[in-house]
Structure 1
Amino acid sequence: MTYPDVPFPGLPPEQEALFAAAAATYARYRPGVPDGAVHLLADILRDRSTPVLLDLGTGTGQVPLALRSAVPALAHIEAVDVSPQMLDQARDALVPVLGRCTLTLVHAVADAYAPLAPLPGEEVRAPDLVTCCRSYHWMDGPGVLAMADRVAAPDAAVAIMGDGSLWTHDADWTRALRELIQHYLGSKRRAGTDNSYTEPRRSYEEDLTASAWSDVTEHRIPVARTWTPERVLGYLGTTSFASPELFGERHAAFEEAARALLHSLASDGSLVEHSVFTVLLAQRPERAS
């Protein structure tokens, strides 16, 4: 089920276009959730008889897809995203593996999410875990955390997760690629067709400690990824800093130059990224163990 069934207001046109264009290739080229993070989240839900997941900024459904396999008892998934195209991708990925788990797709900005009222005789399905994976930076963070406090179960947890991007990763090949992107688009990191990236006013940790979810632990999970030049190019097409729309008529020239650069820097056809996937796991203090 998807709701609401009317057009969702308030999404900036350039953001809508960005997500719509990226949806078809996002699942193919974006790295998944590392096993260490999946196990960490699964441990939160393992002792609950019918756990419920609320995944905000679900994209193509990577988090619920990983947890569906790791938590066989998972009873219900609420997957929220601003892009209907992304929700279509999430549905295609999740429906074949649901089994007895139920799924609701919600077209909304995260802080405006509200669960549907239960039917007479039904129990309220309050989330036991609220997740934001590589998506919190798009959101009204304090608003999201306040919403989570309203809807989540008393002993729930919130997980904000991510690992930067190939723009922020520091390696010889990513620095050279970043310089090439800057040659075409200017020195400032782009964030869609009409904006440049700006650092958040405060860190995610500061958002959490100022919220009801102030009992925070940080988990840093080392990740090694191997990229091919073609996979890097596919990934760039899903980003806000190097999507095809930013280059206009120069995109083909950029891709040709980037392909040649990446092949010249690849060792045996591969490019290695050593990254850290960070999970900020938070609870309400009175419920923290």
Structure 2
Amino acid sequence: MKSLVDCIHCYLKQAVSCMEMINVPDEKKVEVLYSLMDFIKTLEPSASPAYNSSLVLLKTYEFINNSDPYYEAKKSSNKLALELYPKLKEKVSRASDALYEALKASVAGNVIDLGIQRDFNIDKELEHAFDFGFWIDDYPLLREKIERGKNVVVIGDNAGEIVFDKILVEMLNEMKKNVYYIVKSGPVLNDATKEDAEEVSMSKIANVIESGAALLGVPKDFVSEQVKNLISTADVIISKGQANFETVDDFEDVQANVFYLLKIKCEYLAKKLKFKQGSLVLINGEKLKERKEKYLLK
């Protein structure tokens, strides 16, 4: 997915969030932001928002001399989610369709996105997810593909959210599926890394695979050959969150097997693709492709 004009201010907003995480003085923030404005001029407009955001974030890390400003925040998110896990797991297990409820739990965890907003009410998000479900809901097709297939790839998103994904992975395990869970190879924003996977015990229930890059999403030109092969050959790919939404479409040949699972947070993207702002979406890749061709490329 190509960047939009509206993405530019979001790059700077994420940079500010990074600096606030480690209490950078205002004078330094201004200095960094002015430098980033010059840097943003060099970005390729045709690149994905996730890729350009990654470059701005990594440049911010250089300016503030901190390679992981979200480290403590990620720890806190994992701790909070682990506290909620037992009750949530019990609720899902009691459901008549536990896999469907596990998907709702997983997408509710997508609210833990400290790069965009630092305040969130996870209890409210969970209640909304379970009560209202998905605004776009391709679950019947997803379940059919899972039941027919064997290998499922889950492309993870944030720390904290990874705990909610555990419930989904456990449901897939009960269905006797081989699950591969992709995390980042290094810190970028508050995305989950292998350290987070081990901290929340995801590595005990899934084959945890590093993406091969410390970049948002899974940009095809930069991830490892292992990840490319996994995505290209999996029976089902469940893509979590906004950055994966913006990059997994690079794997054009497998969109029939891709299911994007996220909360629509970006108001500009919502307007462009005619999504309902704030809605929870479970959409097949082929249907998303049709939507993009209809609204973005016309």
Q: With structure 2 as the length reference, what TM-score do the two structures score?
A: 0.43
Structure with higher helix content: 2
Q: Say which one has the larger Rg.
A: 1
The answer to which structure has the higher strand fraction is: 1
TM-score (norm: length of structure 1): 0.44
